Chains A and B, each alone.
Chain A
């Protein structure tokens, strides 16, 4: 994908996805500290995956002549993280936000970018389902967007 030229219309959607990946990298750093055993292993693998995704997005944006958005020095956590349950809840939230950001990438008309966004959505939705312990009908959309989601 990094070999694909990206049009200007795709830049803002990719920047939003990059911002979500930056937040995920930060958030997993926090969540991972409160997880152990298999959950910690999973968190570490997903943390790495988000760093790879971040690097991919940065490369795509640079190739499009855009300056990739930088990570914030710190992020406001959506809730207090002080144990495995709240750490897992944070991971679900991070993945939901990443999925939603890639949903924005799917709205881009460039077919290759759209395809890239859809694949990234599926990956993030899979990670969210792992943490959540169940699947949802419409990953990326707000809960209840379509009757029952």
Chain B
């Protein structure tokens, strides 16, 4: 548990010292808000990508009951990815970046209103999901250089998991 807390020390806290400094200086408080660092940008993108992926699987599961078992298993892994990625993003209270991302009660992916577009037809949908998994993994790899080692390890692991999903989807397509 202590280990988990240590891992949770995260990217967005990088903006904390800046906030603290501006809080100490009267005029400094009027300065533009600190911009999120490159690691925070990568993490936010990873979180958004997982939310989108979960929504796509939600649509596919509802539309293709025959694939539900396989797709539900893959979606469950995306939910674990999302949960872990969110723990790495801690936004200081009062931060102008607090709203809009990493909120504790995110818009429910896969819920009504969050339905993701998916091509009609099972074969096309499976193909689309393969491409989506592949692109998501590639995007994570592109972000690796911008983040500290422990986050890089998480992103690489998530990317590896997504790569394995491509093979599962391919065999589901027959």
Interface, chain A (partner B; CB < 8 A):
99, 103, 106-109, 111, 114-115, 117-119, 121-122, 124-126, 129-130, 134-141, 146-149
Q: Which of A122, A134, A148 contacts B80 (CB 8 A)?
A: A148
Q: Which of A107, A119, A138, A141 contacts B152 (CB 8 A)?
A: A107
Q: A111-B144, A114-B145, A147-B84 are in contact. Are A135 and B161 (CB under 8 A)?
A: yes
Instruction: Flag if B167 contacts A130 (CB, 8 Å).
Output: yes
| Contacts A/B (CB < 8 Å), 26 sampled | A103-B156, A107-B149, A108-B149, A111-B144, A111-B145, A114-B145, A115-B141, A117-B156, A118-B144, A118-B152, A118-B155, A118-B159, A118-B160, A122-B160, A122-B164, A125-B161, A126-B163, A129-B164, A129-B168, A135-B77, A135-B165, A135-B168, A137-B77, A138-B81, A138-B158, A147-B84
Instruction: State whether the Cβ of B157 lies closer than 8 Å to any Cβ in chain A.
Output: yes
Q: A122-B163, A135-B168, A138-B157 are in contact. Are A115 and B77 (CB under 8 A)?
A: no
B residues near A134, Cβ cutoff 8 Å: 73
Task: Kindly state the separation between the CA atoms of A114 and B151 in the bound complex, as whole angstroms.
Answer: 12
In angstroms, how far is the closest chain A Cβ from the Cβ of B91?
A: 20
Instruction: Flag if A139 contacts B160 (CB, 8 Å).
Output: yes
Given contacts A114-B156, A121-B157, A137-B161, 16 further A-B contacts (CB under 8 A): A114-B152, A121-B159, A122-B159, A122-B164, A125-B163, A135-B74, A135-B164, A136-B77, A136-B161, A137-B77, A138-B80, A138-B81, A140-B157, A146-B4, A146-B84, A149-B80
Instruction: Flag if A146 contacts B156 (CB, 8 Å).
Output: no
Q: A107-B153, A111-B145, A130-B167 are in contact. Are A121 and B80 (CB under 8 A)?
A: no
> 8 Å CB contacts to A: which residues of B138-153?
141, 144-145, 149-150, 152-153
Instruction: State whether the Cβ of B111 lies closer than 8 Å to any Cβ in chain A.
Output: no
B residues near A141, Cβ cutoff 8 Å: 153, 157
Proximity bits, B55-77, A CB within 8 Å = 1, else 0: 00000000000000000011011
Instruction: Flag if B160 contacts A146 (CB, 8 Å).
Output: no
B residues near A137, Cβ cutoff 8 Å: 76-77, 80-81, 161
Task: Kindly state the separation between the CA atoms of A103 and B155 in the bound complex, as whole angstroms.
Answer: 10
Instruction: Flag if B164 contacts A139 (CB, 8 Å).
Output: yes
Instruction: Flag if A147 contacts B83 (CB, 8 Å).
Output: yes
In angstroms, how far is the closest chain A Cβ from the Cβ of B71?
A: 12
> 8 Å CB contacts to A: which residues of B73-114?
73-74, 76-77, 80-81, 83-84
